[in-house]
């Protein structure tokens, strides 16, 4: 699997190098037609794995970003309603990625 990610939130995946070249050609053509530009220093091409929107995306699917999970595990036990709300707000973002979240 190949990945392309740009810091504007754009990205695409492909199962082969050739498929990725075709997709990139299409993306670049669309940018040209709409007179948009990409920053080479902010774009990543042909990666096998990346962290995107709080998750690690790669050949093994989508997994939670380990850095974010470490912050959750190390979070002190909430002592009041406000801290409980903050903790649940942080963890709820990952509920779809954490088995048996409830």
Domain residue ranges in the chain: 2-64, 65-101
Q: What is the pLDDT of residue 7?
A: 52
Q: Could you tell me if residue 99 is left (phi over 0), alpha (psi between -120 and 50 degrees) or otherwise beta?
A: beta
Confidence of residue 48 (pLDDT cuts 50, 70, 90): confident
pLDDT, position 2: 46
Q: What is the pLDDT of residues 13-24, one digit of tens each?
A: 788 889 888 988
Evaluate whether 75 touches 34 at the Cβ level (below 8 Å): no
Give per-residue pLDDT as tens, 67-95: 777 878 888 899 999 999 988 888 887 77
Contact yes or no for 18/2 (Cβ under 8 A) = no
Q: What is the pLDDT of residue 8?
A: 54
In this structure, what token pair is assigned to residue 85? 């709300």
- Which residue in the block uniquely carries the two structure tokens 């699917």? 61
**Assessment of whether the complete model's pTM goes beyond 0.85:** no
């Amino acid at each position: 699997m190949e990945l392309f990610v740009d810091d504007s939130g754009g990205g695409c995946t492909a199962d082969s190098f050739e498929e990725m070249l075709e997709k990139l050609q299409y993306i670049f053509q669309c940018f040209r037609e709409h007179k948009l530009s990409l920053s080479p220093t902010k774009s990543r091409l042909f990666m096998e794995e990346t962290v995107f929107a709080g998750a690690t995306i790669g050949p093994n699917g989508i997994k939670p970003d380990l850095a974010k999970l470490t912050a959750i595990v190390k979070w002190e036990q909430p002592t009041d309603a406000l801290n409980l709300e903050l903790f649940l707000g942080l963890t709820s973002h990952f509920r779809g990625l954490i088995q048996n979240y409830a």
